[in-house]
Amino acid sequence: MEKVAERFIRYAQQYTTSDPESTTYPSTGRQLDFMRKLVEELTEIGLEEVEMDEYGYVTATIPANGVENSRVVGFIAHVDTSPDFSGENVNPQIITKYDGKPVELKNGVVIDPKDFPEILNYKGQDIITADGTTLLGADDKAGVAEIVTAAEILLKMKSLKHGKIRIAFTPDEEIGKGTDHFDVKKFGADFAYTLDGGEIGELEFENFNAAGAKIKISGRSVHPGAAKNKMVNALLVAHKLVGMLPPTQRPEHTEKYEGFFHLLSLNGNVEKAELQYLIRDHSLEKFEEKKKLLKEVVQLINLEYGKPLVELKLEDQYYNMRQKIEPVMHVIDIAQEAMKLAGVEPKIKAIRGGTDGARLSYDGLPCPNVFAGGHNFHGPYEFVPIPSMVKAVEVILNIVQLVGKHK
């Protein structure tokens, strides 16, 4: 317990935020700084084939111990933290034996059970938070710490029999580019698990189908005193476009399997405006319907003004991994059994987002998602219970032994 917590706190203090506006890969050099430290640590622990490639991917091997010719299982986590909130100068702290009361942090940040009732599930446990000025980074440095801790245990405890194991750490997952250059063939696993889920017990093999839309609106700026029948206010055209999309299909009004249009940004003036939308749905049919609707809205506005004021660039980002996992459901069965052996009740649910595993599954590496233990990602209310991280380590150890037994 102390080892995984200490390791996570050390990792969380490293500044690794990714940058969606960057044109490099990875998007920030600070991720590479952290990756180099991981290479040193993995080498010191005794892993084999430890390397960092030109794109920043760190991979390593835990050699087989007593089990030959079994399937090769992989474990993957990402090192970057979300640019949604500051990840610089993270100051983790341990709340010992959480007493069920509001956790008061800096800047007036309070993790109050009234707002975050899930924290009461961990009453009496030690939990880790940041200090209120930054996010914590359990997404996904908890996963990184759990994988490295499990690797160290496997190398030390020769009584744990298993086949060959591969591990990988990726950059830029938070900006949707985590597997842009990942070499599945070189990685050499038959299947893998991302340790990138939330609360203890989460097991996920469904995620959103995802697209990103960039919309540019060209208006006409004229002095407002002489604007009649001349001015075209790009901001008001943007307002019209937003209003033509169904308000019930916004993130704040959806849950479970309900998809949405998410207005990510809106910038501009009378002359020009730009919008960015995220389009999400678990159903491929509904996903295509949403994209079609947005295209029709743009077309209608252009028809109304009699000219192409609105330019739409729409790109698919990733797809629901379910159709790639269903033919190999034994990987889910193994994870469920591993959790039960650890005394953890599996909670199979759909991800209202995406993971590296979604894209990897389409690249030929079936890769469902297992809990890392954190809550309230991407903001100052984030926390992770230490016992949840310990259980994640146990689940990894159980998975590799189960894979070794089922050749």
Q: 141 with 98, same domain?
A: yes
Q: Can 131 be counted among the known catalytic residues?
A: no
Q: 70 with 153, same domain?
A: yes
pLDDT at position 180 is 93
pTM of the model: 0.89
CATH of the domain at 392: 3.40.630.10
Strand ranges for 198-269 from DSSP E? 202-206, 209-218, 260-268
Q: 288 with 398, same domain?
A: no
Q: 149 with 19, same domain?
A: yes
Domain end marker among 318, 349, 372: 318
pLDDT at position 117 is 96
Per-residue pLDDT band for 69 (boundaries 50, 70, 90) equals confident
Q: 234 with 290, same domain?
A: yes
Per-residue pLDDT band for 317 (boundaries 50, 70, 90) equals confident
For strands 209-218 and 272-281, give the pairing: antiparallel
pLDDT at position 407 is 57
Q: 164 with 49, same domain?
A: yes
Q: 181 with 254, same domain?
A: no
Average pLDDT value for residue range 283-299: 97
Give 160-185 pLDDT, tens digit per residue: 999 999 999 999 999 888 999 999 99
Q: 301 with 359, same domain?
A: no
Q: 191 with 219, same domain?
A: no
Domain end marker among 300, 318, 336: 318
Q: Can 41 be counted among the known catalytic residues?
A: no
Provide the token pair at 395.
């689940």
CATH of the domain at 220: 3.30.70.360
Mean pLDDT of the chain: 95
Q: 281 with 193, same domain?
A: no
Given the residues 41, 80, 202, 382, the one annotated as active site: 80
Q: Is the Cβ–Cβ distance between 317 and 211 less than 8 Å?
A: yes
Domain end marker among 286, 318, 350: 318
Instruction: Name the percent of the chain lying above pLDDT 70.
Output: 99
Provide the token pair at 57.
């991917």
Degrees to nearest 5, angle at CA 91 with 88 and 95? 145
pLDDT at position 1 is 64
Given the residues 146, 173, 202, 394, the one annotated as active site: 173
Domain range for 302 is: 209-318
Q: 82 with 132, same domain?
A: yes
Strand (E) or helix (H) holding 36:
helix 29-45
Residue with tokens 């704040």: 252
- Structural domains counted in the chain: 2
Burial class (CB in 10 A: 0-12, 13-18, 19+), 29: exposed
Give 6-62 pLDDT, tens digit per residue: 999 999 999 999 998 899 999 999 999 999 999 999 999 999 999 999 999 999 999
Q: 255 with 290, same domain?
A: yes
pLDDT at position 2 is 74
For strands 272-281 and 260-268, give the pairing: antiparallel
Residue 62 CB neighbours (<10 A): 25
Strand partners, 348: 203
